[in-house]
């Protein structure tokens, strides 16, 4: 990776080195080889060609080097003890006579064994590091490569470095491609072309697309790889033959999982809609009236229609914005099914969303992964529930469906027994899922699944403007601020002033206004990662105010980012071993600097759960004092602070602002300029995701369906 490093030279002067630079541990000495260049703005720099690590030559250097977490089990305190006991011979003892570690006070036989095992692993990793460091791969990734391939790591990387992109989290195609060039892989190698095709199809899926347009895609890959179009076409054909890529007609190219998922969702929804339902008498007016009386409510026409549909059809959608009565209607549907002794299950995509659903309905709700009985294993992972072992229920309620991507929806549908009812609930005007597809909108747009749209506002606290303004924004109208007690706008144009206003709102104004905790109850949501008012910068600024470094307190670093006890963090990828999912938020409750361990506590519907991370696994976490609006989907917070500036121009969209505002229960604070706010309100355009789910659903309705026992 490209790095700008400041290095202290032997004569005491500071040197700026730029280029591929494996991250060195504090106290470590390095030899840097390169060429002196003159930068027009930053002056004389050393352009790095190669870096070699050298053992530290001072007691302080040795102590810092060992205390950096380089070897598991040796933290700052143990490093100090080692240097005190062995002095300049410390590294020699560790390298050649690790059994002497028990001579150090506080290191017993068990800890010595753990350190000796870590030293052995470190030696093996060092071999990998030596091989990889000239290719810009950091020690952290070298460790991951070693743990994935063991002693075969160098051989695997030499023979087919593109495997790294598939097998090792954090190493993408471009890094693997650079390594491949260094080890002599031909630019027209089939391995390279196949990896490039899968990479750019994967990039499209990261943007929410299920497929790529074939002609445009072939030109893109040919250009990026610097090869001819026929070679790319040949690579696609080979991947088609291997079942890794599918072509729909002449224009659409799919990665296999998304092709099967999209077709499967269409097929399965129609099968469920056409299946014979378990015996259930139609809902009578008297029964509905009694249920309303028990609940102390009176349904509006739209809500009545939704309740009736739940009894009449195998699958239905209920959509609407905040305050439109979705929860009230849902509770009544559940009451009526339970009154008939029917089994009801409730689920949502995230832990936070499941907890909200549980609180709103007074019933137990689970995450979709828990519902489907996710099972990790050495050979990968699977869901325990599926066509062969369906969910035991008569009604499944799935909430926040706008967040559900096409792959997860397919997994859910496979687990629903034909004859059961399925009620899909969500707000179609919110942002679509982080993963590929636009499932809720596609289902509604298809016209195939009965849909009830709730658009009359019923729930609005006296004097509250959150619900009112959410609907105004959704209609393209500027929000009202005058006289509002829960919806505020703070004018700030200069980026630094915006940041200052965000910090003031989070740390003092909102805690006083709401008598709330600034960490647990206030969430900053930003449209973008970069810029002064973006996620990355606001996280650092807010953390240093809310959870500053305290002398003597444990802190652990990864990717240049310090993690502290009490930090608010977010998981940024699905971790199938730990059962933690992209977007899950937690708090660091323990740091063991000696072992290099961090414990994060995640709130789940079933109760809090502590999850252990080692230092080299912390790239799965990021600070979450501020998160992107996309990552906030399915969550609610007492107070939300949203910077809205012209720096965010590319992301100023109506559905983005609408989603941010609807995350707040008690107070919304917008900070920025009215110009930027007006741009967002007016901009109803959104990226059109490439999916074929809607036409597939329409096509599937004309198909003839097998008997229930044949449905898979």
Band (pLDDT 50/70/90 cuts) for residue 317 is very high
User: In which residue are the tokens 């959704």 written?
Assistant: 474
Q: What is the pLDDT of residues 236-250, one digit of tens each?
A: 999 999 999 999 988
C-alpha dihedral sign at 143, 147, 151, 152: negative
The pLDDT of residue 490: 94
Q: What is the pLDDT of residues 580-621, one digit of tens each?
A: 888 889 999 999 877 788 999 998 777 789 999 988 788 889
The pLDDT of residue 633: 83
Tell me the C-alpha distance between 39 and 569, whole Å.
Answer: 38
In contact, 395 and 389? CB cutoff 8 Å: no
Q: What is the pLDDT of residues 504-519, one digit of tens each?
A: 999 999 999 999 999 9
- What element of type H or E holds 424? strand 421-426
The end-to-end CA distance of the chain, in Å, is 47
User: In which residue are the tokens 């706010």 written?
Assistant: 677
Tell me the C-alpha distance between 185 and 192, whole Å.
Answer: 8
Angle, alpha carbons 607-638-546 (nearest 5°) = 85
Residue 503: C-alpha distances to residues 421, 524, 533 (Å): 47, 10, 11
The pLDDT of residue 365: 93
In the chain, % of residues over pLDDT 70: 89
Q: Report pTM.
A: 0.80
Angle, alpha carbons 508-509-511 (nearest 5°) = 65
Tell me the C-alpha distance between 597 and 675, whole Å.
Answer: 46
Band (pLDDT 50/70/90 cuts) for residue 59 is confident
pLDDT (average), residues 131-141 = 65
In the chain, % of residues over pLDDT 90: 45
Mean pLDDT of all residues belonging to the chain = 85
Specify the higher pLDDT residue, 321 or 212.
212
Tell me the C-alpha distance between 350 and 360, whole Å.
Answer: 15
* Cβ neighbours around 687 below 10 Å, total: 11
Q: What is the pLDDT of residues 644-666, one digit of tens each?
A: 988 766 778 899 999 999 999 99
In contact, 402 and 633? CB cutoff 8 Å: yes
Tell me the C-alpha distance between 307 and 329, whole Å.
Answer: 7
Residue 688 has pLDDT above 90, yes or no: no
Residue 259 has pLDDT above 80, yes or no: yes
Q: Is 571 left (phi over 0), alpha (psi -120 to 50) or beta?
A: beta
Residue 28 has pLDDT above 70, yes or no: no
Q: Which residues contact 449 (CB under 8 A, 6 or more apart)?
A: 269, 273, 315, 316, 317, 424, 443, 697
């Amino acid at each position: 990776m490209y790095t700008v490093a400041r290095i202290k030279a032997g004569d005491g002067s500071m040197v700026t080195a730029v280029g591929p630079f494996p991250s060195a541990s504090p106290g470590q000495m390095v030899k840097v080889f390169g060429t002196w260049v003159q930068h027009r703005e930053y002056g004389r720099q050393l352009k790095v060609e190669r870096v070699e690590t050298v053992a530290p030559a001072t007691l302080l250097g040795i102590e810092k080097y060992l205390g950096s977490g380089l070897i598991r089990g040796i933290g700052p305190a143990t490093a100090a003890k080692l240097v005190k006991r062995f002095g300049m011979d410390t590294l020699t003892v560790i390298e050649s006579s690790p059994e002497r570690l028990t001579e150090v006070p506080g290191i017993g036989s068990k800890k010595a064994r753990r350190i000796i095992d870590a030293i052995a692993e470190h030696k093996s990793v060092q071999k990998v590091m030596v091989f990889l460091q000239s290719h810009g791969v950091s020690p952290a990734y070298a460790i991951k490569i070693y743990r994935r391939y063991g002693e075969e790591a160098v051989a695997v990387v030499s023979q087919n470095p593109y495997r790294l992109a598939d097998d090792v989290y954090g190493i993408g195609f471009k890094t693997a491609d650079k390594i491949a060039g260094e080890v002599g892989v031909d630019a027209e190698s089939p391995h390279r072309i196949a990896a490039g095709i899968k990479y750019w199809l994967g990039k499209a899926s990261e943007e929410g697309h299920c497929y790529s347009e074939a002609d445009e895609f072939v030109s893109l890959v040919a250009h990026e790889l610097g090869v001819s179009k026929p070679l790319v076409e040949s690579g696609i054909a080979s991947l088609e033959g291997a079942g890794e890529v599918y072509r729909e007609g002449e224009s659409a190219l799919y990665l296999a999982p998304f092709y099967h998922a999209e077709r499967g969702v269409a097929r399965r929804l129609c099968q469920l809609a056409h299946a014979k339902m378990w015996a259930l008498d139609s809902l009578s007016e008297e029964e509905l009236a009694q249920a309303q009386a028990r609940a102390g409510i009176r349904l509006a026409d739209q809500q009545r229609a939704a309740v009736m549909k739940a009894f009449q059809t195998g699958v239905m959608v209920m959509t609407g914005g905040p305050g439109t009565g979705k929860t009230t209607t849902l509770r009544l549907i559940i009451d009526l099914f339970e009154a008939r002794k029917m089994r009801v299950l409730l689920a949502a995509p995230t832990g936070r969303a499941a907890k909200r659903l549980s609180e709103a309905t007074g019933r137990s709700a689970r995450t979709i992964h828990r519902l489907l009985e996710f099972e990790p294993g050495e050979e990968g992972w699977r869901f325990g529930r599926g066509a062969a072992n369906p969910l035991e229920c008569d009604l499944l309620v799935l909430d926040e469906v706008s967040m559900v991507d096409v792959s997860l929806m397919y997994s859910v549908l496979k687990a629903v027994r034909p004859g059961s009812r399925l009620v899909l609930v969500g707000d179609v005007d919110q942002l679509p899922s982080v993963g590929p597809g636009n499932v809720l909108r596609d289902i509604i747009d298809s016209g195939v699944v009965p849909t009830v749209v709730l658009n009359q506002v019923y729930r609005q606290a006296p004097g509250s403007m959150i619900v009112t303004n959410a609907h105004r924004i959704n209609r393209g109208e500027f929000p009202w601020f005058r006289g509002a007690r829960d919806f505020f706008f703070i004018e700030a144009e200069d980026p630094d002033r915006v940041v200052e206003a965000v910090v003031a709102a989070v740390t003092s104004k909102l805690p006083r206004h709401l008598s709330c905790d600034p960490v647990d109850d206030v969430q900053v949501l930003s449209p973008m990662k970069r810029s002064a008012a973006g996620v990355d910068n606001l996280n650092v600024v807010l953390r240093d105010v809310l959870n500053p470094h305290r002398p003597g307190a444990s802190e652990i670093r990864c990717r240049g980012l310090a993690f502290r006890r009490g930090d608010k963090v977010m998981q940024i990828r699905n971790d199938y071993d730990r059962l933690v999912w992209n977007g899950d938020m937690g708090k660091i409750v323990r740091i063991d600097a000696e072992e290099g361990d961090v414990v994060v506590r995640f709130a789940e519907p079933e109760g809090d759960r502590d999850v252990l991370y080692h230092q080299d696994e912390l790239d799965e976490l990021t600070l979450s004092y501020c998160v992107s609006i996309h990552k906030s989907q399915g969550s609610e917070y007492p107070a939300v602070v949203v910077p809205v500036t012209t720096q965010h121009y590319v992301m100023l969209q109506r559905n983005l602002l609408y989603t941010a505002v609807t995350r707040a229960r008690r107070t919304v604070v917008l900070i920025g300029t009215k110009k930027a706010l007006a741009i967002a309100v007016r901009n109803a355009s959104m990226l059109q995701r490439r999916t074929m789910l809607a036409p597939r659903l329409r096509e599937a309705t004309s198909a003839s369906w097998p008997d229930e026992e044949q449905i898979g």
